[in-house]
Amino acid sequence: MDIKTKILQNINYSIEGIDFADYITLSASADKGDYCLPCFAFAKLLHTSPADIAKNIASNVVTGQEVARVEAVNGYVNFFLNMPKIAAEILTDFSLTPEKRNNKTILIDYASPNLAKFLHIGHLKTAIIGESLARMFEFCGYTVKRLNFYGDFGTPFGKIIGGLLKWGSMEEVEARGNDALQEYYIKFNQEEEHDPTLSQYARDLFKKIEQKDEKIYPIYQKIIKIAVEETNKMFEFLGLKFDDYRGEMYFSTFADKVLKILNDKHLLTTSEGAKIVDLSAYNLGVCIAEKSDGTSNYASHDLAAAMIRYDDYKFNKLLYVTDVAQSLHFAQIFKVLELCGFDFSKNMEHVPYGRFSLPDGKISSRRGKQAVLIDLIEYVQNKAKEVISTRKFSIENPQDVVEKVARAVLNFSVLKVERTKDCVFDVEKAFSFDGETAPYMQYTFTRLESILRKHTATNVEPDYSCIKDDAAALTIMINNFVNTIFVALNKRDASIICNYIMDMCKTFNKFYVNTRVLDSDPATTQAKINLVKALKSTLAVGFNLICIDPLKEM
């Protein structure tokens, strides 16, 4: 229901060149109405005080339908809604369904780990921001393709194989998986500091990987298989699945074609042996397309990937979700593609995010000096198990609840903070059932489930006169949620949805404390049950958008 439109239909007053819809907003508090129209922006145009303008508008508002009454106060027109009528329209047979398909395709490149290293906690941020955006686009009617650009290219893989050949064995790799591979990588780097010849040894091994050497290439394939499997286990826990898993090695095979295109467009020059595209005229420095040793690099691979992805998907939008530190890199990629004449370059967008970190010393690691993502996942699972064990409720499948609470804590910790801001994950606070946490929201959902289980269905006509105060505010919030999704999507910022859902949960819990939902009057009970159903439907959609699992009990 478009409440603003309903209000506007009752205003018999206009100002030339002004659309009141652009100014009407929710009121700051219930005593100031449900919606208000501030008139300060009109004063200069009309050469009249905001207070007088507000009085003129208020005197020309028709009341009795959607608007129960109106008042002019200090330059504001305050609209008090006819909540029984409004609630009946919103809550009766309420459903929150995705938008219809719009035949537009969105590609989102996110997560994209370097398989030569353990996933660090920064990967959690790209993974969850990207997944949340994918779900928002899907809700808004787009076809979404999730892309995982694995880092499976470069000298680090030569180091892993070098470490394996010098100090390890395939038997140990089979037994210990990625932990063994990472130890070889660390040891190789340590030994390299004392033996510079190891640097060339690693480069030579990677060259053999590129040449598909009959001895080295099968080892590389085995390493990649193990790393992908380990990575996918963590992504599966986080609720991620991808449509396209092509890695950097795949796109590197198209590097020569990229160089030919750049050369044909007269964009390539040589600098200190490297082939570059000079973007200094656009304040973007130099984009290196081929290194001085003749090898391709990240830029040429990304250029190739963009071209191939457009050929494969004919995307309407391609988003890259990465750390803010890569902003220059993507600005260069987009500009080079534009200079090449690719129209799709204008539909490519970098979605940067701030850093994500842990308080020093809070989580220990068995895998190095600093905790990595698998350490964090193990820690939150154990913490969730500890917290759930203290709850005084009967839970049919406690392990399922543990995993869903742990996942919610991780995902919400990423999304609740404005995307571009740095944040520190406070593990202890994140598991609280009080305050602005994922468990608090999940518990609110279980409260809704409990109410609905206890309610005995009747055919009585609901009496919406009981929808007032917190119930009225909640009804309006439910009604406005879809618009909030579009705002969050346009800003590429799920924290807007997180905050909105949290406000709905807080408002409901205030309502629940002060109001008996299942009362002795079947008609008012049915009205409140319709409110509970609508909120449950809204939270289920909202939880999915921010990668949180709803729970029936906890």
Domains parsed from the chain with CATH numbers: 3-81 (3.30.1360.70), 155-238 (no CATH)
Q: How far apart are CA 80 and CA 34, in angstroms?
A: 5
**Residues of the chain scoring pLDDT < 50:** 364-365
SS (H, E, C) 94-121: CCCCCCCCCCCEEEEECCCCECCCCCCH
Q: How far apart are CA 528 and CA 511, in angstroms?
A: 10
pLDDT for res 367: 52
pLDDT for res 365: 45
pLDDT per residue over 117-149, tens digit each? 888 888 899 999 999 999 999 999 999 999 999
Q: Give the number of other CB atoms < 10 A from CB of residue 325.
A: 9
pLDDT per residue over 422-443, tens digit each? 988 887 788 887 789 999 999 9
Q: What angle, 0 to 180 degrees and rounded to 10, lies between the N-to-C axes of helices 495-514 and 522-545?
A: 160
Instruction: Decide: residue 398, CB within 10 A, 0-12 exposed, 13-18 middle, 19+ buried.
Output: middle
Residues 12 and 60 sit within 8 Å (Cβ to Cβ): yes
Instruction: Indicate the DSSP class of residue 151.
Output: B
Q: Identity (one letter) of the amino acid at 385?
A: K
Question: Which has the closest alpha carbon to 114: 305, 358, 372?
Answer: 372
Q: How far apart are CA 90 and CA 82, in angstroms?
A: 12
Q: Identity (one letter) of the amino acid at 476?
A: I
Q: How far apart are CA 312 and CA 100, in angstroms?
A: 24
Half-sphere exposure of residue 283: CA atoms within 13 angstroms, side-chain side: 0
Q: For 317, left (φ over 0), alpha (ψ -120 to 50), or beta? A: beta
Q: How far apart are CA 376 and CA 128, in angstroms?
A: 15
Q: How far apart are CA 285 and CA 1, in angstroms?
A: 50
Sign of CA dihedral 39, 40, 42, 43: positive
Residues across the chain: 554
* CB under 8 A, 24+ apart: contacts of 517-522: 517/451, 518/451, 518/454, 518/455, 521/463, 522/458, 522/460
